[in-house]
Structure 1
């Protein structure tokens, strides 16, 4: 496997269409646009079916990068993996995390594994395949392909798998009905959860966290089946899954390292602390190490309680439970890390234990 150098850049944004920070870094030479592999962003929409800040952000980025790459905006979207997560409730701050990858030589004396990144796409799904075994199986294949692309062979070295997956619309449901097929749900909002859950189960299958056979009826029901490193986000702008694997690779000469832990619930501060410690950023950080970003999933406990006390996130008809969860987990992580510019995504179906979710940390090494 050729040696690669992976770069990570966190860039604040003033709105979903703000590309000025990225363009400034490209202009200064800090980022080579030809090396950009993936962009993960937090946008200040509602995170729901009609959150078009995600599509707006991707369109703005593709339009800005097109002349830098000599491509059309549509071709840029095919070349770079864009994952926009809507919803910056509470103290969460809108931002982009840009990942670059380029060929490099591993310096003499460099020890240990460093941050590696890989990307893969599934085929397009039919509406009736979302939230079902077809999506699970195709996602598992894409995860393995992304691992190979990242130079990672051991599943234990995978610390975060970010997936952008589709959702259902009324038109997509009708298209399935016209072929004589039924979708997993007819609700666009519920379909987001089904798609996220099936995608996460695909990660679990690929990494051996769960068995190879998962039935359609297990999705959104068997919450004992989950992945400890999956982070999935639904959007209206695509019909396939975009898979990004982040882990540590012996073929990487990166200045960065990634680690993770798993939150048991939305107030699991110990897990966040453990994730920080895993990359040398505990209460007494290792000299020279600095925090780059934190990536986490947030979920309202499906039994309606947190550590025995009732919560009302699932019964609030004014604000969706995913928005409540993002605000709660975002506040917790911001307080422990000292920044609200963290990537917290709502809806953690089959992503960590029910009511919890994975939390990954990237640190820059000295």
Structure 2
């Protein structure tokens, strides 16, 4: 098994098209553009079907990186995994997290497993396959491929699986109808949840968190079926799933470690503290002499039963603001207060990603050695 070293760089952005921070780091030699494997970002759109800040951000990054790599922007998008999560409500701060990977020798004396990253793609889906068993099955295959790419052998060493998945548009629904097929829903907004949910169930199947005996009718209905490490985000800009696996591996020579916990609901502060503790950190201000917080990645959603710990919430009944925006703001504020920074990655819509109303939270720390 080859040994790799992962690098992580968190870069603030002034807008969806701002690539200046990344290009400055490339210009200084801090980042080798040829080593970039994935870029995860928070953009300040609405996170909905018409959130074109995600596509804008990806286009800007691809255009900027193309001459650096000697590729076309289209080829850059096929080479690097881009996952842009729209919505920076409340104190959430727009930023990108750049993951690099290169071949490296594991230093003598380096102990324990270190952060590793792997990537894989599913095939393109037909519109009628979104939110259904085909998406679950293909995602499970891609998760296993990404684990192999990362050199992660055990499911227990996987701490976060980030997926970018498609959604339905009226044109895509019409195309399925023209072939005599029905889609899981005709609503573009609802299709985001179906796609996120099926993708998350694919992660759960791949990691053995649930049985592979999952059916179309289980999506968005069997909320007792979920993954503790899945984070899925829907977008209009693709028709396949992009899968990024983050975990710890004995074949990694990186200076980072990742851990996770699962929030039971949107105000589960102890779970966030547990995630911080899992990588040797505490709540802000960070006091560890040999470790530093890099970033936190979490999912958030409005509890589907309309309550949090016995008290009614109104997130699902607000016709002015989407429930996903409410959830990102609430969970983002909670995590930011404990982490000491608003530059954290909190994504809305946690269907089958942790228990209903909750979600996974992963923390990456840099080790001084």
Task: Give the aligned partner of residue 185 of structure 1.
Answer: 185
1:61-117: CA deviation from partner (whole Å, max 9, x where unpaired): 000000000000000000000000000000000000000000000000000000000
* TM superposition shift of 1:285: 4.4
1:137-163: CA deviation from partner (whole Å, max 9, x where unpaired): 000000000000000010000000000
Q: Distance in 2 between matches of 1:328 and 1:276?
A: 19
Give the SS at the match of 1:314: helix
Give the SS at the match of 1:293: strand
Task: Give the aligned partner of residue 237 of structure 1.
Answer: 237
Task: Give the aligned partner of residue 65 of structure 1.
Answer: 65
Task: Give the aligned partner of residue 295 of structure 1.
Answer: 297
Alignment of 1:1-366 (within 5 A): 1-283=1-283, 285-366=287-368
Q: Distance in 2 between matches of 1:97 and 1:251?
A: 23
1:167-210: CA deviation from partner (whole Å, max 9, x where unpaired): 00000000000000000000000000000000000000000000
Q: Distance in 1 between matches of 2:193 and 2:78?
A: 25
Give the SS at the match of 1:300: coil
Q: Distance in 2 between matches of 1:7 and 1:172?
A: 38
Q: Distance in 1 between matches of 2:255 and 2:109?
A: 14
* TM superposition shift of 1:213: 1.1
TM superposition score normalised by structure 1: 0.99
1:110-134: CA deviation from partner (whole Å, max 9, x where unpaired): 0000000000000000000000000
* TM superposition shift of 1:286: 3.5
1:4-42: CA deviation from partner (whole Å, max 9, x where unpaired): 000000000000000000000000000000000000000
Unpaired segments ≥5 residues, structure 1: none
Unpaired segments ≥5 residues, structure 2: none
Q: Distance in 1 between matches of 2:106 and 2:220?
A: 44
- The two structures, once aligned, show a CA RMSD in angstroms of 0.6
* TM superposition shift of 1:293: 0.2
1:248-306: CA deviation from partner (whole Å, max 9, x where unpaired): 01000000000000000000000000000000102574322000000000010000000
Q: Distance in 2 between matches of 1:75 and 1:364?
A: 31
Give the SS at the match of 2:266: coil
* Residues paired across the two proteins, number: 366
Q: Distance in 2 between matches of 1:274 and 1:259?
A: 9
TM superposition score normalised by structure 2: 0.99
Q: Distance in 2 between matches of 1:208 and 1:46?
A: 34
Q: Distance in 2 between matches of 1:150 and 1:285?
A: 31
Give the SS at the match of 1:272: helix
